[in-house]
Every structure is written in structure tokens, then in C-alpha cells.
Amino acid sequence: MGTPPYRIWEVNNRSETGVFMEEKKFINERVIPGIRRVVQKYEIKYDPNNPVNMDDSMADAVWNAAVEAFLSIGVYNTTTHRIIEFTREELDEAFLGLPGSYLFGAGKDARPFIARKPEDKTPPFMLFSPDITYDEKDHFKACVAYLKEPLLDGICAPILEYFFGRKISSHSPTELGGSLMHAMNLRAAARLVGRPGIHFVAVGTAEADSSQIHVSDNEYGIRTTDSRLVASTTELLTNNEMMNKALHYQQYGCYSGNLAGAIYGGYAGGAEGTAVLQTAYHLMGTLLYSSHYEQNFPFHLKYGSNTGREMLWIVSTYSQAIARNTKMPQTSNGFANAGPGTKMLYYETAAHSMASTISGANLWEMAPARNKHHNRGTPLECRLAAEVGYGTALSGMTRKDANGIVNTLLEKYEKDIPEAPIGKTIQEMYDLDRAVPGDEAREQYEEMVKELKNMGVPFPY
């Protein structure tokens, strides 16, 4: 399974006994000045000409700044109004125990999930995820469509918004029922396509701790070979419900990931502070939640995406900071501006996949249309991310090579970010009765691959 929970009861006790403070004061007196101070101290500077960071010393500066900031700021529990603090010795102890790799999934479907390095020639672990809600009647067939993709190593399935025709309400019986339906659809779909042991990250329908506990079952629900997520909210905040989830995952025996997205333009400020804060979340996940990996999704405050020039620099830089200084596996979750069936989405996907892969991250792709529009997500953009990720790793390209191609891709779409098209629904692009792309969507995909190859984007075949 990997590293044991890190001093789980001692850490939980601190959420009841730490320094008492109101949330607003924590943000204004600890988070904001703490991030600003280390950005200045370590001379961290965003370089718009290089969306893929090529400076090892900059990545290391971001790591050192994140360590100093996290240890001085701590984590705030909004339930108890207490600050949970850690020492440098505890941080070093916890990270020393990380094994650097796990075996996700079961049996013939198990796949290695590793801590990659910048310019690593090992292809990234490929987690397919649309990150949006689907119609209840199409949820099962959509799961089948994703699970049929050959390069998929794991899946975080689409989310249910309705259960037996009723809108799901958090902390209610509809959430319990919808969460179980989500889990059962995944299990049935995986068995149907011949991948019964494939790794799930589940279930996104379950917001409440009670709903996550409800689906923990090796017979019909989420298994100990699967993983679960516990969130870190904006910024460096937790609560008792999140800590309940983290405790349950460890005691149940499944893998767990820390779900965190630092906000560009928020409390961390610009690109520099956002990169530092996103790096700090890896420390929070390891020490507070005993997470086995970090699920990263930094996003732009105005656009809700992370494929813009400044966001790709953030993704690249924090990924390298972690990859160079720890053995913690990490995933990079793409949030695109454009929706399915648009050329812009494919450009964004290729840029995010390449910048992430070359910087040492595994891939968690792809959330189209700013992760806001019902039914707007398909396996095709995930397939493209996987193929570009494999191509980037296997080609042996350098960060300099990747930086040049990402700059070329940005020229194709960055001007359109403010008014990005939301694209088409999966029902418009797929024949869901057969769980395959329609002819028009398939032909467009093939044309996009040709165009991207001509631009220098590497593909494995």
C-alpha cells in the first residue's frame, strides 16, 4: 500500500488544540503576507516567454519558498477555528517515508503510479476524467465510452446530478443513492469492457463524508485498490468533514489523494505566489491527510481554467518543484476554456499535456468548457492528452523543445480565451448506444492529430 498514515491521531488532535483564530484574520495575517514574503525572499519571477520552465534553480526556489510558507502559515480548521501547525522535522520525516510509487488497480488491470522527474522518459499515468455532470440516463454508457480507451490507466467518472429523476441534494438520501449508483455504474461498465480491476478515483457525486463512507465496499462499491479524494479549500483551509474523509480512507485501506487548486488572482496573488501555494498543498496533503498523491488543479480566478500562458508556467514550475525535491506522485488536472468538438480545445489539451508531462507530472485530463457546462466532456480530448503525454515522454524531448511547441500552440488559442466557445455535448459527438465517436467527431479528431503533428507535437504512433 505504501507509506503508513503520518501520526494520524497527533495531527487530528491539533485541530482541537491549536492556536484559536478567526478565518478572516488567518487569511489576512498569515496566508497573504506569508506568500508575499517568500516570493520576495526567494526572488521568484514569472517568465511569460517561457510557459515551460527551464530553470532548475527557479523550481528549487519555489520548493524552498513553499516549505517556509507552509510551516509559518499552517492549516486552518474552519470547524474548530484552530490552526494546525507542523515542524520542519515532521515534514522531513513524513516525506522520507514516501515510497515514490504505488500499484493502482487490481489483477491484470493494475498499473504503476510513480513520482516522475522532469524530462522523464517514462510515460505518465493517465487518469481520464471529464469532471462534469452528465444526464442520468447516459451516465453508464458514458462510463463505458471512457473505459474503452486503450491508454486509460484509471478513471474519475462523470458526475451524477440527478438520481431517479430527482436533483441530488448534498447531505441527503438522494446523495447517498446517487453516489451508490455512480459507484455501481463504474463497476458494471469496467467489467463489461473487460477491465474489472481498473483503478477508480471515486466518487465525485459524493460531497458529504457520509456519502463517501456509504460507497466503501469491495463487493459492490469503491474498493481498497481504488483511491479517493479529500479537498483542501481556498486557501490552506480544512474542516472536520474533510478530516473525517481522510481518516476514513486510511482506516478503510484505500489510496487517497489531496485535491487542491490554488487560485491565480486570489489570496496568493499572481503567477509566482500561485506556484508557491500549489506546491505547499503537497505538504498539506502529506502531513494533514496522509495522502498518497496530490491532485492539482490551479485555476485562473476570472476564467476558471489553467491553459493560459501564466497558468501553464504555474503548472510547469510547481510540477518541477515537487518532482525535483520529493518522491510524491502528482497529477496535473487540465481545465480548458473551450468545449468539446472545437479546435481550440484540442490546442489547449495538447499544450497542457505537454507542459505537465515534460515537467514531471502524471496526467488527469481533461475538463472542457471551464468545467461548468452539463454533458460537455468526451473521451476524445482525454485520448489526445494521453497520446501527447506518451509522445512527449517517449520522444525524449527536452523542456526547451516543449517550450517552443507550447508557445506555438498558445499562438493558436490564447487570444480567444476570454470568449472561448463551449462546444458540443457528448450526445452530439458520440453514438452512445455503441459508446463510440460519431463520424464527424472521429474525422475531426484525425484531422487535428495531423495538424498537431505538423506543428511538432509528438505522438507515440
**pLDDT tens figures, 276-304:** 999 999 999 999 999 999 999 999 999 99
Cα–chain-centroid distance for residue 25?
29
| Confidence at 382, pLDDT banded by 50, 70, 90 | very high
Across the range 444-450, mean pLDDT stands at 98
Question: Collapsing DSSP states into helix, strand and coil, what is residue 294?
Answer: strand
Q: How many CA atoms lie within 13 A of 362 on its CB side?
A: 25
pLDDT (tens digit per residue) in 395-425: 999 999 999 999 999 999 999 999 999 999 9
Which residue, among 310, 303, 236, 238, has the nearest Cα to 267 in the 3D structure?
Answer: 236
**Gap between the Cα atoms of 43 and 38, Å rounded:** 8
Q: What is the count of structural domains for the chain?
A: 1
pLDDT at 143: 97
pLDDT (tens digit per residue) in 218-247: 999 999 999 999 999 999 999 999 999 999
Taking residue 184's Cβ as centre, other Cβ atoms within 10 Å add up to 15
Across the range 120-125, mean pLDDT stands at 98
Residue 440 included in any domain: yes
Whether the CB-CB separation of 339 and 422 falls below 8 Å is answered with: yes
- To the nearest 10°, report the CA torsion of 435, 439, 442, 448: -160
Residue 89 included in any domain: no
> β-strand 227-232 against 255-260: which pairing, if any?
parallel
**Gap between the Cα atoms of 130 and 381, Å rounded:** 9
Residue 270 included in any domain: yes
pLDDT at 3: 60
Cα–chain-centroid distance for residue 256?
13
Q: What is the CATH number of the domain that holds 321?
A: 3.20.20.460
Residue 295 included in any domain: yes
- DSSP per residue over 302-351, as a string? TT--S-SHHHHHHHHHHHHHHHHH----EEEEEE-SS-TT-HHHHHHHHH
Residue 82 included in any domain: no
Residue 65 included in any domain: no
**Residue 2 reports pLDDT greater than 90:** no
Prediction pTM value: 0.97
Residue 59 included in any domain: no
pLDDT (tens digit per residue) in 167-191: 999 999 999 999 999 999 999 999 9
Taking residue 437's Cβ as centre, other Cβ atoms within 10 Å add up to 20
pLDDT (tens digit per residue) in 309-319: 999 999 999 99
> β-strand 299-300 against 362-367: which pairing, if any?
unpaired
Instruction: Let me know the angle formed at the C-alpha of 68 by 47 and 305, rounded to the nearest 5 degrees.
Output: 45
**Gap between the Cα atoms of 250 and 100, Å rounded:** 18
β-partners of residue 364 are 127, 333
- Given its phi and psi angles, is residue 100 left (phi above 0), alpha (psi -120 to 50 degrees) or beta? left
Cα–Cα distance list, 386 to 183, 353, 379 (Å): 24, 8, 10
Residue 171 included in any domain: no
Give me the domain span that covers residue 340.
101-160+231-238+257-454
pLDDT (tens digit per residue) in 301-358: 999 999 999 999 999 999 999 999 999 999 999 999 999 999 999 999 999 999 999 9
**Residue 216 reports pLDDT greater than 70:** yes
Across the range 357-367, mean pLDDT stands at 98
